[in-house]
């Protein structure tokens, strides 16, 4: 699949993968700052942003998308940075293509499966999906009215900000969501899956996990699994941050990235 992407700067390649419901636009400011050091690529993941839609949305096909992207751009090896679902893509990519990774930076996601039965995050995602499925965006004539009405949705304000950046007009001048919400809905369990099936797998790439203190996506009892799979990993915490730590503390995230990569790039 040929992904839409943004590209900034020159130097060693760094690829940024956004999270679920996000898009490359969410990372432009950070990408431009990192472009002072790296050649930064920020693709839209399939079913998001300006990239093509597909009924398939799982880590096998998204890993294929990433290696196809790297090959198309003649990127032999890169620093890979991913938030949430984007981090899961990188972790899965490391199973199949460890030799294509210089360093990995994973923002606020663990290599575990997030269960629908007992995990609050799956309920959050169901709320977001239901809000999108039940919101008749095509009936609106302008973005202001969409924002006012969508502000009433019973979902986290950060999700609302992400989602409102995912609006476009079709050829008939009707508003639509850029996100393929039907595919996301039908594949949500696939998105929640982890690397537990790879219990005998280990990756020795230099890897930094950045945990948000006020998020429960990475818990202390996840550290053992992280260290078992990613044997050369370290874990750091951004204090007072939520799951959207890159939006709340962009300068700190940039500094963490530069500190982690400075000795080799």
Asked if 202 and 98 count as a contact pair (C-beta separation under 8 A), the reply is: no
**Measured distance CA(41)–CA(15) in Å, rounded:** 5
- pLDDT tens, 99-110? 999 999 999 999
User: What are the residue boundaries of the structural domains of the chain, listed by start?
Assistant: 5-114+195-261, 120-186
Mean pLDDT over 17-26 rounds to 94
Residue whose C-alpha is closest to residue 50's, from 24, 70, 89: 24
What lies within 8 Å, CB to CB, of 160 at 6+ separation is: 150, 151, 153
Q: What angle do CA 88, 44, 217 make, to 5 degrees?
A: 30
Homologous superfamily (CATH) of 5-114+195-261 is Alpha/Beta hydrolase fold, catalytic domain (3.40.50.1820)
Q: Name the DSSP class of 22.
A: -
Share of the chain above pLDDT 90, in %: 77
Please return the burial class of 236, using the count of CB atoms within 10 Å of its CB with bins 0-12, 13-18 and 19+. exposed
Q: Radius of gyration over alpha carbons of the chain, in Å? A: 18
- Give the pLDDT score at 196: 60
> Which band of pLDDT confidence, cut at 50, 70 and 90, is reported for residue 73?
very high
At residue 125, the pLDDT reads 82
Both structure tokens of 21: 């419901």
Q: What is the pLDDT of residue 104?
A: 97
Please tell me the predicted confidence (pLDDT) of residue 59: 95
121: pLDDT strictly greater than 70 = no
The lowest-confidence range among 1-15, 27-41, 99-113, 124-138 is 124-138
Confidence (pLDDT) at 8:
98
The pLDDT value recorded for residue 116 is 58
263: left (phi over 0), alpha (psi -120 to 50) or beta: alpha
Instruction: Locate 117 and state its tokens.
Output: 């039965």
| pLDDT score, position 100 | 97
pLDDT > 90? residue 53 = yes
| Per-residue confidence (pLDDT) for residue 165, from 0 to 100 | 85
Q: What is the mean pLDDT of residues 104-119?
A: 83
Task: Looking at the chain, list the stretches that DSSP marks H as alpha helix, in order from N- to C-terminal side.
Answer: 28-34, 59-72, 85-96, 120-133, 143-150, 157-164, 181-186, 188-192, 223-229, 245-248, 250-261
Q: Average of pLDDT values for 82-88?
A: 97
> pLDDT per residue over 165-206, tens digit each?
889 998 888 899 999 999 999 999 899 999 866 566 888 899
Which pair of tokens denotes residue 143? 């973005």
- In 79-115, which positions are buried (b, 16+ CB within 10 angstroms) versus exposed (e)? bbbbbbbbbbbbbbbbeeeeebbbbbbbbbbbbbebe
31-47 mean pLDDT: 97
Judged against a pLDDT cut of 80, whether residue 152 lies above it is answered with yes
Question: What's the whole-number average pLDDT of the chain?
Answer: 92
Query: Could you tell me the CA-to-CA distances from 33 to 30, 36, 40, 264 in Å, in that order?
Result: 5, 6, 10, 19
Each residue's pLDDT tens digit, 204-238: 899 999 999 999 999 999 999 999 999 999 999 99
* Residue 30 CB partners (closer than 8 Å, separation 6+): 16, 246, 250, 253, 254
Average pLDDT over residues 103-128: 80
């Amino acid at each position: 699949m040929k992904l839409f992407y943004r590209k900034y700067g020159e130097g060693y390649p760094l690829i940024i993968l956004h999270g679920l419901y996000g898009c490359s636009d969410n990372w432009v400011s950070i990408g431009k700052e990192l472009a002072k050091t790296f050649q930064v690529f920020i693709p839209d993941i399939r079913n998001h942003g300006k990239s093509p839609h597909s009924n398939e949305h799982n880590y096998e096909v998204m890993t294929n998308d990433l290696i196809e992207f790297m090959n198309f751009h003649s990127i032999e090896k890169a620093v890979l940075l991913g938030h949430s679902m984007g981090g899961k893509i990188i972790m899965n990519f490391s199973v199949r293509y460890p030799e294509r990774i210089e360093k990995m930076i994973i923002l606020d996601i663990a290599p575990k499966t997030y269960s629908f039965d007992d995990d609050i995050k799956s309920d959050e995602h169901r709320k977001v999906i239901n809000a999108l499925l039940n919101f008749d965006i095509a009936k609106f004539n302008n973005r202001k009215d969409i924002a006012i009405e969508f502000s009433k949705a019973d979902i986290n304000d950060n999700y609302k900000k992400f989602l409102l950046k995912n609006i476009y007009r079709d050829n008939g001048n009707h508003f639509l969501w850029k996100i393929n919400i039907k595919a996301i809905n039908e594949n949500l369990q696939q998105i929640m899956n982890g690397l537990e099936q790879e219990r005998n797998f280990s990756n020795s790439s230099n890897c930094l996990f950045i945990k948000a203190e006020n998020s429960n996506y990475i818990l202390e009892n996840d550290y053992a699994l992280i260290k078992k799979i990613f044997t050369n990993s370290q874990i750091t915490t951004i204090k007072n941050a939520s799951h959207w730590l890159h939006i709340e503390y962009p300068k700190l995230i940039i500094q963490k990235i530069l500190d982690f990569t400075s000795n080799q790039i």
